[in-house]
Structure 1
Amino acid sequence: MSNNRALFGKSWPDGYKAMLAFNQAVADSGLDKTIGELIKIRASQLNGCAFCLDMHIRDAAAMGETQQRLGLVAAWREAAGVFTEAERAALALTEAVTGINNHAGVPQEVYAEALRVFGEETLAKVVYAIVVINAWNMLNVTQELPFKVERPHA
């Protein structure tokens, strides 16, 4: 990746401040922090945002998330018993919203299950969490925001 891309936060500070405010509103919403990190990880995987993926895997690990669960986020459907009902509903909704153009909307069964599990208010928080990480992914991938590669010492 090249490093000749503009950093939009410097190019338009007010836009960056608005993104930070949106991000903070979601963070302060009371949404379960583990679900929030799983949403960020799954969306970042789907969007190919290495910067966000690296950040949120580290954040989740710092919160006590296990290596097994972090490693299985991409295959959560096949990882029976690893993720809770709420986490599975959030991951399914994350995939549907993140890939909304691939299937012309959010499938009714995914939405209905998320509504059943979360109720209207928490469902709204989950969707806003999905929207904000997708926005960060889009910004960071467009900017080709680099991340630091740490290699283990031999």
Structure 2
Amino acid sequence: MWRLKFVLILFIILGLTTNFVVAHEDTTGTVKERTRLMKNLGEAMKAFSLILRAQNNYNIESLSSIIRKITDNSGENLTKLFLEKSMDITSRANPSILDSWPDFSRIASDLFNESERLERRLESSERLIFNEVVKSFRSIAKTCKNCHTQFRRN
């Protein structure tokens, strides 16, 4: 059952990031920076999912590097790129972000907190139980999905 959920989450992430990158090839300024950040997050999530496919054969250093990328591209580093002036037509960001700033900010913080929590656990342990890593992946993926559902234009 968890494999089916994992595959579904993976397809959602792949679909969201692929469309996102193609749609923003001609952006500039803050929108371009934001697009790059989202691309980094998408690449990190893809790499994270590949590690999970390897199940218990993952490398802690590789996983830590991926989680660091997610942490670095979330929280305030993410929210600072969603200014009123950056909500132009080339952006897939829904302008409702500005009206729902507390919700958007909370989701960005949730992404940061969940990835940082996993990062700390990886630093303090030789090996995490695989199910704990899967649980963290699902939580991070759910956070991404929640944000895209609420705050991304189609």
Instruction: Tell me which of the two structures has the higher relative contact order, counting C-alpha pairs closer than 8 angstroms and 6 or more residues apart.
Output: 1
Question: Normalising by structure 2, what TM-score?
Answer: 0.32
Relative to its length, the structure with more helix (as a share) is: 2
